[in-house]
Structure 1
């Protein structure tokens, strides 16, 4: 995920968040005759409840984009949501056309559109993305 965070294509995640994502996460490996296999894609779905889940962290190695890997990862997430009887899946992505080709759309029939309120500015660059081994800092702790 780190290269995609550096390119600002994915959000930086804490170790705890990454562990949680793997609960309903899927990986794609390059077919290889012998180990080690190369990780070429990842996606996850976060289940908010019976009504809503969110497709998160969809990333495919640039060498394998357009080969069907991303579609298979999205389909795996959709299948997991169906298994859990989730009603709707939300996806926030810069790959809008791709997600539309997978059955996503800007709004559902008879559904209101989402409105957002920006509470703080987005960082202009990623200066030090959180590594897998760093401890959580104060901004990552739950509000009590």
Structure 2
């Protein structure tokens, strides 16, 4: 996606929508992330960190009926951006419930995060992930057009034993 394109909304499964995450969603988001943290696919986040991420985060929700026949939302996906400066932001904590993987939910969440970064005037957005093919399909590359590359040096283990 180039920065001058408007947000393209991808088709989503029936009864699924993307909306701004709210601090009150933190418990549901934490529950969604928990299996990915256990698999060491995502970093662990405290509830306070998740609440902060909702500021520029989006939730994929599925509308379901409760026992009383009333509609309620079920969290099936989440992603957020963290802004480091007006130059760069990072896409964080992208997770989609396993039943909704490969259904456009993850790409739609990324699309919303990229659009939020664009709307905030961010120059570059990065994602650190082992899902190379997925992020490349979302328009991310290993380097920027002017050939900037990211270099890393680990100072402590990502997952303490």
Give the TM-score, by structure 1 length: 0.80
Cα pair 2:63 2:71 within 8 Å, conserved: no
Match of 1:6 in 2: 38
Match of 2:20 in 1: none
Gaps of 5+ in 2: 1-32
Cα distance in 2, alignment partners of residues 115 and 48 from structure 1: 17
- CA-to-partner distance for each residue in 1:59-89, whole Å, 9 max, x for gaps? 0011100110001100000110011010000
Give the TM-score, by structure 2 length: 0.72
The structure that is strand-richer by fraction is: 2
Match of 1:32 in 2: 64
Gaps of 5+ in 1: 126-144
Cα distance in 1, alignment partners of residues 155 and 122 from structure 2: 29
Cα pair 2:43 2:158 within 8 Å, conserved: no
Between the two proteins, the alignment pairs up a number of residues equal to 125
Name segments (4+ residues, structure 1) moved above 4 Å.
none
Which of 1 and 2 has higher RCO (CA within 8 Å, sep 6+)? 1
**Where do residues 1-144 of structure 1 align in structure 2 (5 Å cutoff)?**
1-32=33-64, 34-123=70-159
Q: Give the secondary-structure state (helix, strand or coil) at the position aligned to 2:63.
A: coil
